[in-house]
Structure 1
């Protein structure tokens, strides 16, 4: 089984009740941090450039929310813009394993929340 398949199976079978409380608490903190930096990043001029591009290509079909902008666009573009906004100022959460830097929330939460708008899910399931 590939590493991707193993990770996918692990996530699909994960029961939040088996996750330690401190890990759940940290995941919630990461989400709150992500929301804050994304709302701030939504004011960046680059977000408007992306929204203008979406209008030009006709992808403003309203599937998912662009945070802080009062707009709904296609699911992939909402994830793209929210991901951009969450990292544009480089204030997003940081994890430093083995001499590297990982900003884990910026690529994950935009996708999770966009998908949750298409298929409503509980907060526990999103975590």
Structure 2
């Protein structure tokens, strides 16, 4: 249940390297797993309000801000990233060309986006 004037906080855990990720130990009675996902996948994994809140926190970090003021999970003062929907579109999927390199070409790998 939400309360009028409720204040919710999202903490920035920083950038994690492979060593820090490998050191994660999950308390079995609390957390069953963690995932690192692209921002565009958050709406599929969280409630709409939670996804908006998480994306707003990420936009604030990208913009160099330490806070983001939201109302019902939406920015009070939208930024250019909000207007462009920069974090809500999935990145293109890349596919490897597995065939032989055509004769006379120095390209060792070929990929394209769909």
TM-score scaled by structure 1? Answer: 0.26
Question: Which has the higher relative contact order, 1 or 2, with Cα contacts under 8 A spaced 6 or more apart?
Answer: 1
Larger Rg: 2
**Higher normalized helix content (fraction of residues):** 1
